[in-house]
Structure formats: structure tokens, C-alpha cells
């Protein structure tokens, strides 16, 4: 960036005026020196030396100040461009010259004023002038001897010339005074002119200073712009270096990507070939998968049918049928969380139940498996055929077994809105009776017992009757079991049977435990006896429906039983243990079956290994917390499934039936009916 300087006309006129004033002052100075040459001879050497010394000191001071000023100007000019620095240097030189001329004129003016004053004083005092002259002469020559006649003569002549010389000096002083006044007038005029020039010079100086400040500001702005441009250039250079590095990196990356691209192209070709092979294989796999699906469906259908037919064959052979029912997870178990909410029991198909316990995965095969989503109606549907067998003259037993809180009582009895097997069996039984009323007559009776602490209790005994009357378990010649001394209620409809059933339930022993809000503390046995007489032939069939709700097996540590409940639990577990011994003996086809070890097993003689069609429900809990008890129940049920009963129909002809009726009434001391005799 270039900076141009220009001088105003005022500055140029000031410079020209300064040159004119300088010339005039120099002429005046020469004339003064010429006119005062005569006075210098009598001036004091000491006074001249003093003026010279003072002048030297002032010149030295001015020189030092100028040197300092030049140094400062040089330092400042180093920061500006070369052309501007040269112009400023030239202008500063002009200013310095003008100031030097002004200072010299002032100094000369002052010196002339001083000399003029001294000469004036000397002229007005002739004696002093004479004395000074005398002293000067004395100092310039050796001191004469006082008595020297030549010296005396000279002094005398000097004394004679003194008045004349004094007059001359006065004349000279007058002339000098006149010239002094002229000089003073000229000096005043020159001083006024110098003052005007100085004012003009100050204005020019201020203008020049403003110009210099403006130039300095422009220089500062230019410097800032230059610094900013330098920083920008540096940043761009750094950015360029970074971009170069990035470019090198990208080039290397590009080279590597090209290599990878070539590899990918080769791999893509291989992948396309593989994709074609994959498509062909997928198409073939789809066909095979569809074929496999059809085969799997056929296999599952055939497997289900095979199990169904196998169960029917086993039933015809007299095998005990076993159904498994998995209850849902309760709300309390969900709230407690942990193992009490973790489901480990599942139904793989309608005949298989699996348990994923800590000891591994185990599967069990039964005649039917009901999942938690199966309702009471679906559960009863598979027992409907057994109700018909009761009217056909067979002994039928439906029994529920399982751990405490596994849902046995709910399966057998249910609730008001969801009745269980017993209420539904009563309804279905009398529906069948009503449907066959044109073919036969039916007489129905029922009794209801509970086995509590290994003691039989008649639940239908009227209030006030002898509760201590002995109840004996008897078995007839055909192996049918009945309880002698029990209260038998004759019923003619499902409603009467339900009322008797509800009456017995109110007398049953129940209690709350940690595992069940209303836990059965006894084994419940409901027996419905039917006598079916054909209207055409007079033959008599006797059927018996036994419904058993076993008390649950339990661990005291889990159920939290009290002292009384502990005795109940021990009795329950003891009777169930005896039942287990009977099941083990029957499943292993042992020659001796320990029925008499417990009243429970004595009551179930015709149901287990007897002449009954028996259906056992094993109820299990689905959560991991009860996995051990679930496994025990399932293994127990698997052994029950291996037991075979000798199923037979209870039938007599009309005459045998009439004679048996007479014998029964005679034993009781009752009168014989005329139609019987």
C-alpha cells in the first residue's frame, strides 16, 4: 500500500517567508557585526567568554533534544511504508531547519541586546570606560615601574587626550544609540513578522500534524489489515496443509477402497452365484418344508388318535384313567414374584405335560392334560361317559389328588359360578335318568363322609342324632365297598341331591394356610347309589358313583400349619402314604395289597384294583416354587395309571333281586310288601 503526501499552498508560502526572514536576519546580523566591530575591541574578554559558554550549553541542549526527536521520528518512521517515511523525513527536516533558524535569530537578537546594553552603560560612564580601558591595558602589558619617566609621560599624554576621546566616544555612543533605535525598530518589525510567521508556521504544523495523525491512523489500519491478512494467510496456509494431509489420506483411502471394491466385485460375483444356489435351495427347502408340515400334521393327528385309541383300549382292559390339570398362576403369586411367579410346567400336547425343574426336563404321558386356560365345562366333558356307565350298572370313581393349593377342591366342587365335577355329575346323572324313564325305573340314594384325623365322620347325620354311632367299612361278595351305619338320603332329583351335598359341605373341616385360603383338612367321599330296574325284563342294575376329594399333601414349612393343623397334616400325610403303598403294590402286581393299613385305602378298595371304572385327576401347581411337589404328584399319578381294575357290571335277574330285597327287609325287621311275596 502506497501513501502519498502533499503540501498546502499555505505551507509553501510559510517556507518561502521563512527563507526571506532568514536572509534578512543574516544581513542584519552581518551589518550589526560590522557596526559593532569597534565596540568589540573594548568589550570584556570575560563577558565574551561567558556568552560563548552559555551559547555552547544551549546549543548542546538543543542538539540533545534534536537527537532525541530524530530518534523518536526514526522509530515512528520505521513502522510506515518507505515512500511515506521519506516524505515525513523530508518535512521533518524542513521543520527542523525552520526551528534552527528561529532559535539562531532569537539567540542573536538576545546577544545583540546584551552587548548593546553593556556598551550603552560604558558610554554613559566615561570614568568607568576609562578605568576599564586602563585595566585592560594594564592587563595586556607588564606593570611599569611607578617611577619610570616614560610611563609617566605616556600617562600624561593619555590624560590630555582623554577629554577629546571622551567626546568622540559620546559621539559614537550617540550614533550607536540612533542605530540601536533603528535596529530596535527593525528588530520589533522583524519580531512581529517572525511572530506572524510562527503563527502561520504553527497552523502549518498543526495541519501537518493532522495530516501525520491521519496518515498514522491509515498506517495503523493498514497495519491491522496487514496483520489480519497475515493471520488469514497463516490460517489458510495451515488449512491448506491440513487439506493436503487430508488429500493424501483420501488418496490412500481411495486406493484402499479401490482394492476393496475389486475384492467386493469378486465377492459379489461369488455372492450372486451363491444367491442363485440359495434361491434354488430355498425353493427346494420350501417344498420340503411344506411336505414336512403336511407329514407333521398327519403324524400329530395320527399320534393323537393313537393315544386316544390306546386309552380306550386301556379303559376297556380296566386301566385306571389319569387326567392332569395345571392350575393358573394366582394373583398372590404374581405379586410376590420370583420363583413363585416363574412358570415351569407346560402342556406339550393334549396328552403330555412337561416340567423344567432344577433337576432337568421331565415329561409325563397321561390320558388327558388340561392347561390353565381350560374351563370347568371342558374338564367335565371328558368325564361324561363315566356318568353313563353308572346307569349301565358299573361302579364309577372320580378322584382328585394333588398338593395343597393345586386346585383339587375347585376341580371336584368348584364355585357357585363355576361348578366342578360333582355338581355337574349330579345334573348329568338325573338328565340321563329322565331321558331313560320310559325304559326303566331308577331309585337313587346318597351318603357323604369325611375322613378326618383317620376317623370317619357322617356329614349328613341330622343334628342331635348319636354322633358316636360306629361307622364300619364293609365289602360285599362282589367287592363293592359301602359304609355301614352311614346316613343314607333318598333323592329323586338333582335339586334334592345338591341340597344334601351342600348340607354335607357345611360340616366339612377346612382351615386357612399359607398355601391356601380354604384348605381341606379331611378326605371327602360322596357316594351316589343307583338301582335301575328294567320295565321290560325286570332285570336290576346297581350302579355306584363315588366322588373323592382327597386332602392335599403338604410340607409344614411351606403351609405354616399351627399345632392342630400339624396333627391334621400328619394324619393326612399318613393316609396318603398308605395310599401310595397300595398304588405301588398294585402297579407292581404284588400278590399282597395293604388296603387295611388305612381307612382311606379301605374305602377305595373297589376304586383301586377293584371292579370300578376309575378316573383320577392329578392337580399340579405351575410355578417353580412348588416344582418338587409337582414332580412327586406326577410320578405318583404315573404309577396309578399302571393299575388295572377288574370292571364288572352289577346285575341280577328279577327273581334274585326280589329274594335279596326280602332278605334285606327281614334282617332289618321290616314288614314284607304284598307285591314282593
The annotation status of 546 as a binding-site residue, yes or no, is: no
The annotation status of 393 as a binding-site residue, yes or no, is: no
The annotation status of 630 as a binding-site residue, yes or no, is: no
Quote the CA–CA distance of 161 and 133 in Å, as a whole number: 14
| 378 Cβ neighbours under 8 A, 6+ residues apart | 370
Strands (E), 435-522: 440-452, 455-458, 472-475, 481-484, 489-491, 510-511, 519-520
Cell 399282597 found at: 592
The annotation status of 404 as a binding-site residue, yes or no, is: yes
Q: Quick one: CA dihedral 603, 604, 606, 609, positive or negative?
A: negative
- Phi, psi values for residue 182, rounded to 5°: -60, -45
DSSP H or E segment with residue 123:
helix 82-124
Axis-axis angle for helices 45-77, 82-124 (nearest 10): 170
CA dihedral 204, 206, 207, 208 (to 10 degrees): 80
The annotation status of 402 as a binding-site residue, yes or no, is: yes
Q: Quick one: CA dihedral 257, 260, 261, 264, positive or negative?
A: negative
The annotation status of 403 as a binding-site residue, yes or no, is: yes
**CA-to-CA dists, residue 449 to 9, 96, 507, angstroms:** 145, 144, 10
Quote the CA–CA distance of 361 and 634 in Å, as a whole number: 13
| 463 Cβ neighbours under 8 A, 6+ residues apart | none
Quote the CA–CA distance of 483 and 610 in Å, as a whole number: 16
Quote the CA–CA distance of 671 and 450 in Å, as a whole number: 33
Quote the CA–CA distance of 79 and 122 in Å, as a whole number: 59
**What does the longest C-alpha to C-alpha distance in the chain come to?**
230
Quote the CA–CA distance of 616 and 424 in Å, as a whole number: 17
Residue 349 pairs in a beta bridge with 352
Q: Quick one: CA dihedral 281, 283, 288, 293, positive or negative?
A: positive
419: left (phi over 0), alpha (psi -120 to 50) or beta: beta
Helix, coil or strand: residue 572: helix
Q: Which of 612, 613, 580, 617 is nearest to 595 (CA)?
A: 580
DSSP H or E segment with residue 365:
strand 360-365
Instruction: Please write down the HEC assignment for all residues of 625-638.
Output: HHHHHHHHHHHHHH
Quote the CA–CA distance of 577 and 563 in Å, as a whole number: 21
Q: How many CA atoms lie within 13 A of 131 on its CB side?
A: 5
Chain mean position to CA 11: 81
The annotation status of 641 as a binding-site residue, yes or no, is: no
DSSP H or E segment with residue 549:
strand 540-549
Chain mean position to CA 43: 110
CB atoms within 10 A of CB 533: 15
CB atoms within 10 A of CB 517: 12
The annotation status of 407 as a binding-site residue, yes or no, is: yes
Quote the CA–CA distance of 571 and 230 in Å, as a whole number: 105
Residue 518 per-residue DSSP state? T
Q: Which residues are annotated as a binding site?
A: 402-409
Q: Which residues are annotated as a binding site for ATP?
A: 402-409
Amino acid at each position: 500500500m502506497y501513501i502519498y503526501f502533499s503540501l498546502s499552498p499555505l505551507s509553501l508560502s510559510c517556507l518561502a517567508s521563512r527563507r526571506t526572514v532568514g536572509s534578512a536576519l543574516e544581513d542584519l546580523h552581518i551589518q550589526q557585526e560590522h557596526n559593532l566591530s569597534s565596540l568589540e575591541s573594548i568589550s570584556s574578554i570575560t563577558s565574551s567568554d561567558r556568552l560563548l559558554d552559555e551559547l555552547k550549553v544551549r546549543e548542546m541542549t538543543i542538539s540533545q533534544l534534536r537527537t532525541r526527536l530524530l530518534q523518536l521520528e526514526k522509530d515512528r518512521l520505521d513502522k510506515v511504508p518507505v515512500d511515506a517515511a521519506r516524505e515525513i523525513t523530508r518535512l521533518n527536516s524542513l521543520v527542523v531547519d525552520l526551528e534552527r533558524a528561529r532559535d539562531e535569530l532569537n539567540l542573536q537578537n538576545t546577544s545583540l541586546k546584551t552587548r548593546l546594553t553593556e556598551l550603552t552603560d560604558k558610554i554613559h560612564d566615561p570614568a568607568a570606560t576609562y578605568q576599564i580601558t586602563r585595566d585592560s591595558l594594564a592587563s595586556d602589558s607588564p606593570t611599569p615601574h611607578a617611577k619610570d619617566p616614560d610611563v609617566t609621560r605616556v600617562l600624561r599624554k593619555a590624560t590630555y587626550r582623554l577629554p577629546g576621546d571622551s567626546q568622540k566616544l559620546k559621539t559614537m555612543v550617540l550614533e550607536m544609540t540612533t542605530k540601536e533605535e533603528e535596529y530596535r525598530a527593525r528588530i520589533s518589525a522583524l519580531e512581529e513578522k517572525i511572530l506572524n510567521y510562527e503563527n502561520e508556521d504553527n497552523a502549518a504544523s498543526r495541519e501537518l500534524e493532522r495530516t501525520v495523525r491521519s496518515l498514522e491512523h491509515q498506517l495503523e489500519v493498514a497495519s491491522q489489515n496487514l496483520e489480519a491478512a497475515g493471520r488469514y494467510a497463516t490460517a489458510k496456509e495451515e488449512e491448506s496443509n491440513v487439506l493436503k494431509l487430508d488429500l493424501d489420506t483420501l488418496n490412500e483411502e481411495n486406493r484402499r477402497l479401490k482394492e476393496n471394491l475389486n475384492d467386493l466385485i469378486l465377492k459379489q460375483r461369488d455372492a450372486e452365484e451363491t444367491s442363485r444356489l440359495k434361491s434354488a435351495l430355498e425353493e427346494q427347502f420350501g417344498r420340503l418344508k411344506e411336505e414336512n408340515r403336511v407329514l407333521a400334521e398327519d403324524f400329530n393327528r395320527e399320534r393323537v388318535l393313537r393315544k386316544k385309541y390306546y386309552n380306550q383300549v386301556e379303559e376297556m382292559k380296566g386301566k385306571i384313567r389319569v387326567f392332569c390339570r395345571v392350575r393358573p398362576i394366582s394373583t398372590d403369586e404374581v405379586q410376590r414374584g420370583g420363583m413363585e411367579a416363574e412358570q415351569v410346567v407346560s402342556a406339550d400336547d393334549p396328552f403330555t405335560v412337561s416340567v423344567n425343574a432344577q433337576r432337568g426336563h421331565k415329561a409325563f404321558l397321561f390320558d388327558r392334560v388340561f392347561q390353565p386356560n381350560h374351563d370347568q365345562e371342558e374338564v367335565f366333558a371328558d368325564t361324561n361317559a363315566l356318568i353313563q356307565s353308572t346307569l349301565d350298572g358299573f361302579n364309577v370313581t372320580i378322584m382328585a389328588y394333588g398338593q395343597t393349593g393345586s386346585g383339587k377342591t375347585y376341580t371336584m366342587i368348584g364355585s357357585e359360578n363355576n361348578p366342578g365335577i360333582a355338581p355337574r355329575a349330579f345334573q348329568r346323572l338325573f338328565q340321563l335318568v329322565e331321558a331313560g324313564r320310559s325304559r326303566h325305573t331308577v331309585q337313587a340314594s346318597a351318603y357323604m363322609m369325611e375322613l378326618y384325623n383317620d376317623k370317619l365322620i357322617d356329614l349328613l347325620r341330622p343334628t342331635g342324632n348319636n354322633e358316636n354311632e360306629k361307622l364300619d367299612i364293609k365289602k360285599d361278595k362282589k367287592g363293592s365297598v359301602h359304609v355301614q351305619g352311614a346316613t343314607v338320603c333318598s333323592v329323586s332329583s338333582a335339586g334334592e341331591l345338591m341340597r344334601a351335598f351342600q348340607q354335607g359341605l357345611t360340616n366339612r373341616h377346612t382351615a386357612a394356610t399359607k398355601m391356601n385360603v380354604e384348605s381341606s383338612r379331611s378326605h371327602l367321599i360322596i357316594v351316589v347309589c343307583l338301582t335301575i330296574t328294567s320295565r321290560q325284563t325286570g332285570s336290576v342294575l346297581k350302579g355306584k358313583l363315588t366322588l373323592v376329594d382327597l386332602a392335599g399333601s403338604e410340607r409344614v414349612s411351606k403351609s405354616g400349619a399351627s399345632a392342630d393343623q400339624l396333627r391334621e397334616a400328619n394324619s393326612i400325610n399318613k393316609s396318603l402314604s398308605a395310599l401310595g403303598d397300595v398304588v405301588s403294590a398294585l402297579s407292581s402286581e404284588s400278590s399282597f395289597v395293604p388296603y387295611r393299613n388305612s381307612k382311606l385305602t379301605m374305602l377305595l378298595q373297589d376304586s383301586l384294583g377293584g371292579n370300578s371304572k376309575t378316573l383320577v385327576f392329578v392337580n399340579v401347581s405351575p410355578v417353580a416354587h412348588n416344582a418338587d411337589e409337582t414332580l412327586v404328584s406326577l410320578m405318583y399319578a404315573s404309577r396309578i395309571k399302571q393299575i388295572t381294575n377288574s370292571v364288572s357290571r352289577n346285575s341280577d335277574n328279577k327273581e334274585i333281586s326280589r329274594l335279596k330285597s326280602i332278605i334285606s327287609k327281614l334282617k332289618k325287621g321290616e314288614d314284607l310288601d304284598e307285591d314282593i311275596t
